[in-house]
């Protein structure tokens, strides 16, 4: 509730949230907002914007407005799917690396640095070409498995700070298993970081 009140008092955040909700609603109700199919020829090629075709037509006679709002569904699905996968991988690896340290931290850092130096867009194009006709699900998975490194860096650095807190040390002294400390002592204190990573990943 506190976070919601802070959000509502931030005019820029409210405007951004309103735009996001509008885009989501347009994507959900796309079939009700236009009578034209996004994949069928419905007019002459290269028609200018008009009352009949609000954004004109493509060179194949497709309605541009219809393709825009139907395409929003695919874009949102890929963004949310990839963002969720990126956030899950980044959060889990970041917490494990930051809490365990030692060899585990070094191995995760090695793979993190390796992913960071690989340019995502060329890799995505190469993998999509290799796979062939890449579906939105395949694109989301490829993006998810090639874009998690920054999330690991941020989560790890915050975990290194939290692991020194008194309540974490107390849980260790009481003999709590490592997975429980990471899940119930460290992770709840990373919710804001995880949320920012998720939103940033969708935007990216």
DSSP tag of 48: P
Residue 156 to residue 150: CA distance in whole angstroms = 10
- Read off the pLDDT of residues 174-196 as tens digits, 9 standing for 90 and up: 888 988 999 988 998 888 888 88
Q: How many Å apart are CA 63 and CA 36, to the nearest integer?
A: 7
Average pLDDT estimate for 86-93: 94
The predicted pLDDT at position 84 comes to 93
Quick one: 100 exposed, middle or buried, by C-beta within 10 A (0-12, 13-18, 19+)? Answer: middle
Confidence of residue 8 (pLDDT cuts 50, 70, 90): low
Q: What is the reported pLDDT for 13? A: 66
Alpha-carbon distance 133 to 4, whole Å?
Answer: 42
Give the pair of three-digit tokens for residue 170: 């107390």
Torsion-angle region of 61 (φ positive above 0: left; ψ -120 to 50: alpha; else: beta):
left
- Quick check: 50 pLDDT over 90? no
Burial of 37 (0-12, 13-18, 19+ CB in 10 A): middle
Q: How many Cβ atoms are within 10 Å of 103's Cβ, its own excluded?
A: 8
> What is the predicted pLDDT for the residue at 35?
86
The whole-number pLDDT of residue 39 equals 83
With a cut of 70, say whether residue 23 has pLDDT above it: yes
pTM comes to: 0.78
What per-residue confidence (pLDDT) applies to 159?
93
Mean pLDDT of 84-99: 94
């Amino acid at each position: 509730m506190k976070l919601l009140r802070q959000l509502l008092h931030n005019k820029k955040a409210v405007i951004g949230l309103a735009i996001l909700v509008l885009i989501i609603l347009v994507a959900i109700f796309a079939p009700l907002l236009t009578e034209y199919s996004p994949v069928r020829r419905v007019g002459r090629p290269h028609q200018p914007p008009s009352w009949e075709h609000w954004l004109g037509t493509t060179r194949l006679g497709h309605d541009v407005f219809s393709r825009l709002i139907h395409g929003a569904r695919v874009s949102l699905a890929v963004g949310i799917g990839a963002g969720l996968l990126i956030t899950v991988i980044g959060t889990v690896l970041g917490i494990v690396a930051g809490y365990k340290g030692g060899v585990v931290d070094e191995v995760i850092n090695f793979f993190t640095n390796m992913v960071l130096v690989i340019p995502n867009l060329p890799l995505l194009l190469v993998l999509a070409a290799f796979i062939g006709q890449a579906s939105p699900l395949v694109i989301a998975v490829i993006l998810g498995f090639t874009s998690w490194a920054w999330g690991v860096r941020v989560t790890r650095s915050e975990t290194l700070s939290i692991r020194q807190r008194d309540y974490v040390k107390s849980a260790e002294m009481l003999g709590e298993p490592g997975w429980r400390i990471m899940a119930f002592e460290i992770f709840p204190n990373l919710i804001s970081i995880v949320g920012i990573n998720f939103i940033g990943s969708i935007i990216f």
